[in-house]
Amino acid sequence: MSTLSNSVRLTGFLGAAPEVKFTDNEKKYVKLSLATNHFRKNDQGDRVKEVNWHPIVLWEQQATLAEKYLDKGSKIAVEGRLVSRYYTDKDGIKRHSMEVFVNEIDFLRN
């Protein structure tokens, strides 16, 4: 069970093309916005779709593959870990964000 302590698996569609970036020491990474759908029934019994957006980060070789093969609307499955980040925005307000740092990615057919 120790391998499950910080593990996330998601399957969904990209909301935009991969955004390529580099760290200060030139390490390549790609940011993705992944949409996952959840279906439930409302009080009237109608099926309702809820969409959740997840920030995804790919590093080095995976970043290069994502840049080359993925685009808006691509379907992928990822496995990774949650990473919590704290920062101060341009207005001086302290913010918190959660991202999924990917260990494994599968490119799926739509």
pTM (2 decimals)?
Answer: 0.85
- pLDDT average, residue stretch 90-97: 95
CATH number of 2-108: 2.40.50.140
Residue 1 has pLDDT above 80, yes or no: no
CA distance 37 to 42: 15
pLDDT tens digits for range 25-48: 999 999 999 999 999 999 999 999
Compute the CA torsion angle 77, 49, 38, 78 (nearest 10 deg): 10
- Rounded Cα gap, residues 4 and 9, in angstroms: 11
